[in-house]
């Protein structure tokens, strides 16, 4: 940011040298200049693991019917659209990462942007790709926290969808090598593309993924427009635009506080299996009770206690042929854990019939909104499970689930998850080769090129 002399009659966020100032300028400076190589070794390793985990979801999503259907939407040659649809195919797997305090799933919307654009531009410098992924993830989670994502989700505003254009624009701008000023305009244009609110979408394929694909594509297009010197509103975040247009209070401090000092990776969660995150702690608690020796055939009743914020959501019952409902329904997920645990890793759940035994077991599950668990939320998404069996009641509470920052998945855990997910879809040999390529992509240009080429080709 240069100078402090204002252009007469222009936005007060633009100096006489054409540079922008204010919140957008701070974000743009970070996006254009942050280097992942400067992060502590532990955070760089987490970034690598999240790249691998996201690439596993990308390959899985590309192999199932709903993911394939997405690829048939839009024009084949439109780069932004193809990237957006690939991001949606990752997101729909429900095995991608999540940041609980912001209620956003950042990697799905930035990793494909970085890799596809690297292939398009034929630039395979691992450090730049890592930096582009980091800045996009950081922007996504900070937006989610700044608008209180966990609270607004249950008003019908999807924080990941809200932040997607800006996160994608940040990643794209970095890969395109835009100046700070043009990066600021890319972010501003992407902000004006934010929608956030979604209705109650039913059926399959789900319209949620169409919306999310377009949100990511819009962010890439915003960066392309800024590169062509289209301008945004540089002081959009310094006024009450979000409150006026979306009814959202914005905590500007959450956007910029200690920006670039550390990364969000130490606070991200990885899912241990395919599920809405809100159901994972309950499944884990139920598994602990089973491992204590409680016979599943003796179980008469189960109660799942969770914070009121998401009790109604996970109380959804699974509908045959509606795969998203099976991922959200905690009753269905617990039934799988009891009767067919390997199917927790099944991505394609689009069969028109649900096994009768699963339905009968799921009917034993009751979801209870428990205010006593509110104190943990949204930093954690806990559950307490009560199982009635043989005249006794067994209880277990999980606050910090497997895959959360307190119990992170390591490389071996991600590899195990990857093989459980991918082996049935692509075979063990290809899954192992994919993991090897992903693991080396941020170290060597050859592996980086191979992974980027796969994303660009749609696998």
**pLDDT at residue 119 in the model:** 96
Mean pLDDT value across residues 250-257? 95
Average pLDDT value over all residues in the chain: 93
**pLDDT at residue 264 in the model:** 97
Q: Would you call 112 helix, strand, or coil by DSSP?
A: helix
Give the model confidence (pLDDT) of 25-64 as tens digits: 999 999 999 999 999 999 999 999 999 999 999 999 999 9
E strands, 32-133, are: none
pLDDT higher than threshold 70 for residue 449: yes
Higher pLDDT, residue 203 or 444? 444
Cα-based distances in Å from 177 to 39, 131, 199: 20, 12, 37
**pLDDT at residue 73 in the model:** 82
How far apart (Å, rounded) are the C-alpha atoms in residues 250 and 424? 44
Long-range contacts of 70-74 (CB under 8 A, 24+ apart): 70/205, 70/209, 70/210, 70/213, 71/458, 73/210, 73/213
Mean pLDDT value across residues 378-387? 97
pLDDT higher than threshold 60 for residue 2: no
pLDDT higher than threshold 50 for residue 320: yes
Give the model confidence (pLDDT) of 398-418 as tens digits: 999 999 999 999 999 999 999
**pLDDT at residue 199 in the model:** 76
pLDDT higher than threshold 50 for residue 11: no
The percent of residues above 90 in pLDDT, for the chain, comes to 86
Give this prediction's pTM. 0.93
Higher pLDDT, residue 161 or 203? 161
Strands 392-398 vs 299-306: parallel, antiparallel or unpaired: unpaired
Instruction: Evaluate whether 23-267 and 277-398 have a shared fold.
Output: no
Least confident of 151-155, 176-180, 368-372: 151-155
Write phi, then psi, for 407 (nearest 5 degrees): -135, 65
For the chain, give every domain's residue range. 23-267, 277-398
**What superfamily in CATH does domain 23-267 come from?**
2-methylcitrate dehydratase PrpD (1.10.4100.10)
pLDDT higher than threshold 70 for residue 18: no
Mean pLDDT value across residues 96-110? 98
Mean pLDDT value across residues 150-158? 91
Name the architecture of domain 277-398. 2-Layer Sandwich (3.30)
pLDDT higher than threshold 80 for residue 14: no
HSE toward the beta carbon, residue 275, CA cutoff 13 A = 33
Mean pLDDT value across residues 105-116? 98
Mean pLDDT value across residues 191-207? 81
Least confident of 9-23, 80-94, 304-318: 9-23
pLDDT higher than threshold 60 for residue 8: no
Question: Residue 12 — pLDDT band, cuts 50, 70, 90?
Answer: very low
Of residues 145, 150, 115, the one with CA closest to residue 129 = 115
HSE toward the beta carbon, residue 375, CA cutoff 13 A = 1
Strand order in the sheet with 365-369: 365-369, 299-306, 383-389, 392-398
Question: Residue 77 — pLDDT band, cuts 50, 70, 90?
Answer: low
**pLDDT at residue 200 in the model:** 76
């Amino acid at each position: 940011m240069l100078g402090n002399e204002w252009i007469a009659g222009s936005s007060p966020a633009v100096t006489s040298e054409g540079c922008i100032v204010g919140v957008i300028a701070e974000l743009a400076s970070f996006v254009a200049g942050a280097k992942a190589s400067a992060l502590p070794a532990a955070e760089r390793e987490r970034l690598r693991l999240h790249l691998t985990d996201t690439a596993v979801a990308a390959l899985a999503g590309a192999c199932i019917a709903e993911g394939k259907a997405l690829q048939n939407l839009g024009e084949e040659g439109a780069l932004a659209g193809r990237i957006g649809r690939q991001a949606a195919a990752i997101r729909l797997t429900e095995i991608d990462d999540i940041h609980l305090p912001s209620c956003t799933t950042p990697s799905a919307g930035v990793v494909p942007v970085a890799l596809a654009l690297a292939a398009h531009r034929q630039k395979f410098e691992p450090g730049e790709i890592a930096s582009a992924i980091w800045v996009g993830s950081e922007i996504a989670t900070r937006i989610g926290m700044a608008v209180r994502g966990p609270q607004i989700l249950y008003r019908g505003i999807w924080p990941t969808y809200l932040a997607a254009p800006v996160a994608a624009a940040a990643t794209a701008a970095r890969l395109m090598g835009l100046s700070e000023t043009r990066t600021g305009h890319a972010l501003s244009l992407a902000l004006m593309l934010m929608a956030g609110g979604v209705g109650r979408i039913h059926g399959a394929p789900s319209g949620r993924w169409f919306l999310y694909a377009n949100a990511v594509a819009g962010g890439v297009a915003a960066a392309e427009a800024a590169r062509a010197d289209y301008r945004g509103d540089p002081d959009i975040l310094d006024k009450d635009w979000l409150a006026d247009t979306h009814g959202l209070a914005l905590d500007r401090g959450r956007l910029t506080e200690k920006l670039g000092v550390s990364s969000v990776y130490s606070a991200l969660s990885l899912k241990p299996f395919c599920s809405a995150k809100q159901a994972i702690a309950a499944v884990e608690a139920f598994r602990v009770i089973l491992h204590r020796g409680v016979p599943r055939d003796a179980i008469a009743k189960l109660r799942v206690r969770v914070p009121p914020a998401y009790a109604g959501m996970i109380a959804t019952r699974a509908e045959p042929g509606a795969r998203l409902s099976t991922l959200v329904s905690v009753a269905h997920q617990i039934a799988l854990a009891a009767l067919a645990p390997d199917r927790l890793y099944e991505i394609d759940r689009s069969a028109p019939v649900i096994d009768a035994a699963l339905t009968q077991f799921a009917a034993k599950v009751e979801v209870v909104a428990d205010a006593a668990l509110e104190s943990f939320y949204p930093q954690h998404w806990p559950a307490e499970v009560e199982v009635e069996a043989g005249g006794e009641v067994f209880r277990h509470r999980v606050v910090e689930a497997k895959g959360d920052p307190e119990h992170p998945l390591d490389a071996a855990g991600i590899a195990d998850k990857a093989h459980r997910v991918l082996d049935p879809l692509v075979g063990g040999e290809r899954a192992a080769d994919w993991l090897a390529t992903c693991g080396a992509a941020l170290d060597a240009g050859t592996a980086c090129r191979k992974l980027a080429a796969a994303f660009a080709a749609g696998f």
